[in-house]
Structure 1
Amino acid sequence: MRTVYVNGQYVPENEATISIFDRSFLFADGVYEVTSVLDGKLIDFNGHMTRLARSLSELGFTYVPDIDELLAVHRELVKRNNVTEGLVYLQVSRGSAGDRDFAINKDTPATLVLFTQSKSLIKSALAERGQKILTYPDVRWRRSDIKTVQLLYASLLKTEAAAKGADDAWMVLDGYITEGSSNNAYIVTKDNVIVTRQLSNDILHGITRKAVLKCADELQLKVEERLFTVDEVLNAKEAFSTSASAFVCPVAEVDGTKIGDGKPGPIAKRLREIYIEANRAAAI
């Protein structure tokens, strides 16, 4: 049984509780981060904590994360649960003011929850065969840059895609790809240019995205941060996604059309290799 962390206490997972009036439960009023673990160490921890602080600030939370304290909690959970490869999930909600109320009481103490998940990250059957993707309209709240727990639409899309034999969904806004259900989206043109949507309120500012673009620069690959259409995807040489839990994951098919030869492409595969190598070495 896992040990989890709830508001300053390490407890068995079956004893972990929060109030039924917690605003994350009633209003999805919370933010989260997921940090990968390789060899028992944390991948890009500081990047995730920087984004956590931004999300909290954008939503007007009074809670200010103590990064050193959170690092200690992450490490303790990894140790207690013997996680060598997997994830640490962190969630901050605005807490419970004692009863359901739309109005936000900024004096309410935040609720802080963390838990681990053991998971194989390096060896991925999905990365080896390439994802099958379906596209759907992007009808989310237009502050996708804030990593909130408002994940119902993404969950519905991922579930529907799976029911249709696909692995994930990419969303489309005004004719252009925004991002995947839980990842950033990319194509590689026939001229070997990596294209991904520019940062804005329309996509999550991915920590893995930032690291992978740095890897691309080190490989002297050309990158364009711009809008791209579904047609561009279907005619691309390669496609892939990035996320903290899947790293670089190639795409083999979109809306029933093979991308390239329908197999993971060399650029995506090389980016995955160099990302894992670089971040494994920098893990803390």
Structure 2
Amino acid sequence: MRTVFVNGSYVLENEASISIFDRGSLFGDAVYEVTSVLDGKLIDYDGHMTRLRRSLDELKMPSPASDEELLEIHRKLVELNGIEEGLIYLQISRGAADRDFLFPGPDVKPTLLLFTQKKSLINSALAERGQKIILVDDLRWRRCDIKTVQLLYASLVKNQAHDSGADDAWMVLDGEITEGSSNNAYIVTEDGTIVTRDLSSDILHGITRKAVLKCAGELQLKIEERPFTVAEAKAAKEAFSTSATSFVNPVIEIDGAKIGEGTPGPVARRLREVYIASSKAAGI
């Protein structure tokens, strides 16, 4: 049974509780981050904390702990749960207060939760096989750059993909791909250029995205950060997605259209190898 962290205490998961009036439950008034663990070390931790602070600032939500305190909690949970490879989820809500759309006063303390998941991240059958993707309309609120717990639409489209025999969904806004249900989206053009949507409020500013693009730059691959159309995606030489939970994940089919040879392409495979190696070397 896992040990989790709830508002200052390490407790067994079946003993953890929060108030029924927590605004994360009542309003989705909460943000979160997911940090990967490889060889018992945290991957891209500083990037996740920087994005967490930005999400909190955008929502005018106070932080319950410093980066240093959060790092200590992450490391303690890794130790207590024996996590060599897996994930740590962190969630901060505005706290518990009587139900009101107006934010509570400064006397209400934020709720802080962290828990772990043991998961094989490097050895992935899906990454070896490649993903089949469906396309769906992007019907989310237009502040996708804030990493909130409002994930109902993402859950809906993931289930839609599953029910249709696919692995995931990419979202489309005005004829252009924004991102995946829980990942950033990329194509590789015939001349080898990596194309991914530029940063804006239309997509999450992925921490793995940033790290993978750095790896691509070090490999001297050409990169274009711009919107790309559905037609471009279906005609691409390769496609892939990135996230903290799946690293670099090749795409072999989009809405029934075979991408390239219909197998994971060399650019995605190489980026996955380089990202994993660099992440393991830089883990803390």
Pair in the same fold by TM > 0.5 = yes
Matching residue of 2:259: 259
1:133 partnered with 2:133? yes
Q: 1:146, 1:220 → 2: CA distance?
A: 31
Question: Which blocks of at least 5 consecutive residues in structure 2 are unaligned?
Answer: none
Q: 1:26, 1:133 → 2: CA distance?
A: 32
Matching residue of 2:193: 193
SS at match of 2:205: coil
Structural mapping, 1:1-284, within 5 Å = 1-63=1-63, 65-97=65-97, 99-107=98-106, 108-284=108-284
Q: Percent identity?
A: 70
Q: 1:102, 1:211 → 2: CA distance?
A: 37
What letter is aligned with 1:237? K
Q: 1:41, 1:64 → 2: CA distance?
A: 23
SS at match of 1:201: coil
Cα deviation digits, residues 53-89 of structure 1 (max 9, x gap):
0000000012264011000000000000001000000
Question: Which blocks of at least 5 consecutive residues in structure 1 are unaligned?
Answer: none
Q: 1:230, 1:5 → 2: CA distance?
A: 43
CA RMSD of aligned residues (A): 0.6
CA contact (8 A) 2:64 2:111 kept: no
SS at match of 2:134: strand
Q: Could you tell me the TM-score, scaled by structure 1's length?
A: 0.99
Q: Could you tell me the TM-score, scaled by structure 2's length?
A: 0.99
CA contact (8 A) 2:143 2:201 kept: yes
SS at match of 1:20: coil
SS at match of 2:261: coil
**Offset at residue 250 of structure 1 (A):** 0.2
Q: 2:78, 2:271 → 1: CA distance?
A: 27
CA contact (8 A) 1:184 1:242 kept: yes
Q: 2:64, 2:76 → 1: CA distance?
A: 21
Cα deviation digits, residues 155-203 of structure 1 (max 9, x gap):
0000110010000000000110000000000000001000000000000
Large movers: runs of 4+ above 3 Å: none
Q: 1:75, 1:21 → 2: CA distance?
A: 30
SS at match of 2:248: strand
CA contact (8 A) 1:179 1:203 kept: yes
SS at match of 1:32: strand
SS at match of 1:148: coil
Q: 2:163, 2:65 → 1: CA distance?
A: 39
**Offset at residue 106 of structure 1 (A):** 3.7
